[in-house]
Amino acid sequence: MRILGIDPGYGTTGFGLVDAQRGSNRLLRCGVITTPPGADFSARLEMIYEDMRKLLELAQPEAVAIEELFFGHNVTTAIGVAQSRGVILLAIQQAGLSVFSYKPMQVKQAVVGYGNATKHQVQDMTKRLLQLTELPKPDDAADAIAIALCHARSSTSLLAGLQNK
| Three-state secondary structure readout of 61-108 | CCEEEEECCCCCCCHHHHHHHHHHHHHHHHHHHHCCCEEEEECHHHHH
- Sequence-distant (6+) residues with CB within 8 A of 137 are none
**Which strands form 63-67's sheet, in the order they lie side by side?**
24-34, 12-21, 2-7, 63-67, 98-102
Closest CA to 109 of 45, 153, 158, 43: 153
Q: Count Cβ atoms below 10 Å from residue 74 Cβ, excluding itself.
A: 10
Q: Is 67 noted as a catalytic residue in this protein? A: yes
Catalytic residue among 50, 62, 140, 143: 140
Catalytic residue among 40, 51, 67, 124: 67
Closest CA to 1 of 94, 86, 100: 100
Which residues are catalytically annotated? 7, 67, 140
